[in-house]
Amino acid sequence: MSTHPTPTSATTATATATADATGTGGTGTGTGTGTTIAEQVRTFDEGFSAQIGPELTATFAGEQADLRAAGVPATAVTEGTPLPDARLLDPTGSEVALAGVLGDSGTVLVFYRGAWCPYCNITLRTYQQELLPALRERGVGLVAISPQTPDGSERAVEGGELAFTVLSDPGNALVRELGLLTEPSADAQGAHAQLGFDVADSNADASREVPYPTVLVVDGGGVVRSVDVHVDYTTRTEVADVLTAVDALRGPR
């Protein structure tokens, strides 16, 4: 099975709508979005819905409603939990220990679905533009993790001009231990097929499993101090909320 899905008119439309939402014109990241992730998602959804039509729009909306109704799984990682050991892959395919990318002053871990997901791309670009500079001022690291192949991680880096660490979690091994594993509904998978796409083509293990979009703030000892799980993949942790959690970790200055 190929790990490089062939672009279709639908995926091209997705890229165009994402560019319209982020103001990137499809390349680069500009100098800053100036808007919240939620505002960018609203802009994206308007354009994307118009391009894919009411039937597929309703399919995805139904999936999102079901996810919200189910809520955060009881198995999800909680504050005070030490991070498990994990072996990840960098965009070149080299193995990286999770402990080796955690900073002494804390780290923000971002779990995302893949470079194929427009909501992930909006979020990562916003984090590059607005979150990363603020974290650097605080001496805190930023790491994004997905189940896709290293090539997929490289596409995420190149597409968003990302200057922070982006890693692959093959087989969702880390995500599984953290209780953050999910998968598109059968109806959503059918909609993906109509759009000429299959999540399995992007994942390192050829499965369709993905993480719930999640931000963890981890202290210098590798203990989770803040958890924000988004079961509805169209919503994400805003920059201001990440910084609030980071500043709480650092304490009064």
> What does R_g of the chain's alpha carbons equal in angstroms?
17
Q: Give residue 34's pLDDT.
A: 67
Task: Output the pLDDT for position 246.
Answer: 97
Q: What angle do CA 157, 201, 208 make, to 5 degrees?
A: 100
pLDDT at 203: 96
List of residues 6+ apart from 237 with CB closer than 8 A? 37, 213, 215, 228, 230
Low-confidence stretches of the chain (pLDDT beneath 70) = 1-34, 251-253
Count the alpha carbons within 13 Å of 23 in the hemisphere toward its beta carbon.
12
Residue 62 CA to its chain's centroid (Å): 21
Condensed to tens digits (0 to 9), the pLDDT of residues 26-46 reads 333 333 456 899 999 999 999
Q: Is 216 helix (H, G, I), strand (E, B) or coil?
A: strand
pLDDT tens for 214-223 read 999 999 999 9
